[in-house]
Every structure is written in C-alpha cells, then in structure tokens.
Amino acid sequence: MPGNGIDLRVCREVVIHGVTAERPGFPRRLSYAAVETLDATDWRILEELQRDGRASYAELARAVSMSASAVTERVRRLEQAGIIRGYTAVVDADRLGFTILALVRLRYPTGNYKPFHELLAGTPEIVEAHHVTGDDCFVLKVIARSMRHLEQTTGRISGLGPVTTSVVYSSPLPRRDLTADLSDRQAAGSG
C-alpha cells in the first residue's frame, strides 16, 4: 500500500459520460469497493461476454461447459455485484463521419464545476471525460468530423481554462478486455 494508506488496486476509475440528476455533486470522491473474488468459470463468462455481449445464455453455457440455468445465475450474480455494469453496442465513429479523435487536456482553474457540467451536457463531441491528477484537471476524449470542427469544439472547451490538444494518429489498442490473466498477474504482485 502506498504511504497515504490508499490501496490503489481497489480504486474505481472516475469517468463522466454525461451529467445526470444522479451525478449532481461532481467532483466526487473516488469510491472504493472490495475486490470481488472470481473463479475460473466467472472469468470465462466475463471473457465471452466481453467478446460478444449479445451471446445467449445457451451459447455462454456451451462455452463454459455448464447448464444455461447455472450460467444465468452466475451472470445475474456478476450483475448484482456490479462487475457487469451493462451491455452496449460499440459504434464506429469513423463510419459515421467522425474521423478525427483527440485527447484534450483541460486545466480548470476554479472549484465551480457547474460550467464544466454544462459544457459536458451541451457538447456531444466530448465522448469521455476523466478527472485526473497532475497539472491538468481533466482529460477529454473528443471526436470531430474535420480539423475545423475540432478547432470549434476545443474553442468551446478552452472557454473554461487552458487546453492542450493531442490528435490521435492511430489506436494500436483502443480497448482491452479484462481477463483472468490480468487478475492473476496482479495477485502475483507483478501488476
């Protein structure tokens, strides 16, 4: 454990996908949760669902060599524990004409977060927002149709404070599934 007494292995990432009535008090404290212990079958179910979130219980049952009812119960338990937070479609922004991806770092000089909430609610080009440590306060993932569109969007963001924009050339690893291998490495102390 670091010297401040916080075990960072159980710290949940703070991600803002949008401002809703359920999330009025940003910035929120980092929330902590007990680490759930999963067996090999739970991990196989998670891996299958991350590969194909539309897989039926029968398909999952075949993949993990269990009955459909047993798999259904395990999936429900994983959902109730908050390990599975939901199911979603992965949409290709390029195919919709949003061919530019940028990471925008925002240094936000005030403790009044209402304008930031309003920016998030009114700027659909911001598809992710992360509250971070360091000189910058937020890292925003922004999509745009053109450089001019990106410039307009970052101009709105810069109304709240200084920004630094990095255009993404490519994404060799846009997303990684969470697997038992990751958990095993962390448990072995190599993570």
**Span 149-156, mean pLDDT?**
99
Residue found by looking up tokens 């240094």 in the block = 107
For the stretch 18-71, pLDDT in tens is 333 344 444 444 455 567 789 999 999 999 999 999 999 999 999 999 999 999
For the stretch 67-100, pLDDT in tens is 999 999 999 999 999 999 999 999 999 999 999 9
Could you tell me which residue, 102 or 19, shows the higher pLDDT? 102
Q: Domains of the chain, with CATH numbers?
A: 94-167 (3.30.70.920)
**Span 181-188, mean pLDDT?**
74
Task: Output the pLDDT for position 30.
Answer: 45
State the Cα–Cα distance between residues 60 and 49, nearest whole angstrom.
Answer: 8
For the stretch 124-147, pLDDT in tens is 999 999 999 999 999 999 999 999
For the stretch 166-182, pLDDT in tens is 999 999 999 999 999 88
> Mean pLDDT score of the chain, rounded to an integer?
84
The alpha carbon of 150 is separated from its chain's Cα centroid by a whole number of angstroms, namely 22
Confidence class for position 186, pLDDT limits 50, 70, 90? low
Task: Output the pLDDT for position 26.
Answer: 46
On the question of pLDDT at 7 being above 50, the answer is no
Quick one: CA dihedral 27, 36, 78, 179, positive or negative? Answer: positive
State the Cα–Cα distance between residues 186 and 191, nearest whole angstrom.
Answer: 4
Burial of residue 44 (number of CB atoms within 10 Å: 0-12, 13-18, 19+): buried
**Which of helix, strand or coil describes residue 113?**
coil
Quick one: CA dihedral 115, 118, 124, 127, positive or negative? Answer: positive
**Span 150-168, mean pLDDT?**
98
Confidence class for position 187, pLDDT limits 50, 70, 90? low
**Which of helix, strand or coil describes residue 105?**
strand
**Widest distance between CA atoms in the chain:** 56
Contacts of 102 by beta carbon, 8 Å cutoff, 6+ apart: 141, 142, 143, 144, 150, 154, 165, 166, 167, 168
On the question of pLDDT at 9 being above 60, the answer is no
pTM of the model: 0.74
**Span 104-116, mean pLDDT?**
94
